[in-house]
Amino acid sequence: MSKSFATRMAEAVQKTKSVTCVGLDPRKAQLPAPIRDNVAADAPPDAWAAAYTQFCCEIVDVVRDLVPCVKPQAAFFEQLGPAGTVALGEVIRYASDAGLIVITDGKRNDIGSTATAYADAYLGTASPWGSDSLTVSPYLGEDSLEPFVEVCDQRDAGIFVLVKTSNPGGGLLQNRETDGQTVYARVAELVQHFNATRLDSFGYGPVGAVVGATYPEQLAEMRAAMPGSWILVPGFGAQGGGAADVMAGFDAKGLGAIVNNSRHIIFAHSRPEFADRLGDARWQDAVRAATVEMNEQLAVVKD
């Protein structure tokens, strides 16, 4: 790949006219019946892993022309043990081959050569896992992020650093102020520092940020603090954030943010508005309808 991660993201958003990121969070109990019923409850992990792969790859088939990116959640694959991570690898490859940008949500973090190992593992379509991007935690400080940024440079890949998360308890550490600056604002300052010398023609760099939809005021604050950063916004849909809550994340062209939705899209067959009309039997149609609905709610991309 010759274009930077940020540029590919901007072009994918413009092409699809969508800022929706579909979160791939497979869970045994919530799989649609046509897939779940093929696996015995006490089946070995590789049977469930195959079900996860089928489920996620079918979602990719449904949404590939509708959205710029997908975000597989590593935790749910790892929950199946090693067989689950094999499925994660298959899903990443399938989505990437389908032309989607893949953000592996692993919230990894470590120091020095160990951080480099994670970066080498996940960043770039030619890497062992083959994803375009990885979510990363900042608790270990600047020298834990630098190895990731270096690999981003080498491979035209991206990362998303946890800045202000969507959960109620996120503020315990993130909101603490020192000399008037919160911890999350300090992380944002670091993110902007990394991007400042790496901006593309759209004005963005490889170091994205995670800022939850559940705190709209902080999203506006963070948009201003990190003008060079793609913001990954979780918390939309099932976690309670709505369209009005995420508008502050976008720039004037409707770029600069992608909004993740996992459960309300991938398990749309269980939502009241789709359950009767489509239900488990037509779960793929429910996924498509929910994705189109979200795209319409967030029609911010300008020509």
Active site residues: 107
Q: How many residues bind its own copies (CB under 8 A)?
A: 58
Question: Residue 253 in contact with residue 301, Cβ under 8 Å?
Answer: yes
Identify the residue whose tokens are 């319409």.
296
d(CA 168, CA 119): 29
User: d(Cα 217, Cα 33) in Å, to the nearest integer?
Assistant: 40
Measured from the CB atom, is 139 or 299 closer to its own copies?
Answer: 139
* Binds its own copies by CB under 8 A, chosen from 1, 37, 99, 128: 128
Within residues 133-172, the interface with its own copies by CB under 8 A covers 137-144, 162, 165-172
Q: Output 10 or 92, the one with its CB closest to its own copies.
A: 92
176 part of the interface to its own copies, by CB under 8 A: yes
Residue 96 near its own copies by CB under 8 A: no
State in angstroms the smallest separation of the CB of 122 from its own copies: 8
Closest separation in Å from C-beta 223 to its own copies: 21
Check the CA dihedral 226-227-232-233 and report its sign.
positive
How many whole angstroms separate alpha carbon 77 and alpha carbon 89?
A: 10
**CA-derived radius of gyration, the chain:** 18
Torsion angle, CA of 77/212/266/4, rounded to 10 degrees? Answer: -70
* Nearest residue to 132 (alpha-carbon basis) of 101, 88, 92: 101
Distance of CA 193 to the CA centre of its chain: 22
Q: Which residue in 89, 203, 227, 279 binds its own copies (CB under 8 A)? A: 89
Binding region for its own copies (CB under 8 A) out of 11-19, 58-66, 81-89, 242-250: 81-89
Task: Please classify residue 109 by burial: count the beta carbons closer than 10 Å to its beta carbon, then call 0-12 exposed, 13-18 middle and 19+ buried.
Answer: buried
Task: Report, in Å, the least distance between residue 115 CB and its own copies.
Answer: 8
Residue range at the interface with its own copies (CB under 8 A); choices 95-103, 120-128, 192-200, 295-303: 120-128
1, 33, 111, 299: which one contacts its own copies (CB under 8 A)? 111
* Helix/strand/coil for 73: strand
Q: Given the structure tokens 């900042």, which residue do they identify? A: 138
Q: Rounded to the nearest whole angstrom, what is the least distance from the CB of residue 161 to its own copies in the complex?
A: 10
What are the residues binding its own copies (CB under 8 A)? Answer: 25, 27, 45, 73, 75-76, 78-82, 84-86, 88-89, 107-115, 117-118, 120-122, 128-129, 137-144, 162, 165-174, 176-178, 183, 186-187, 190
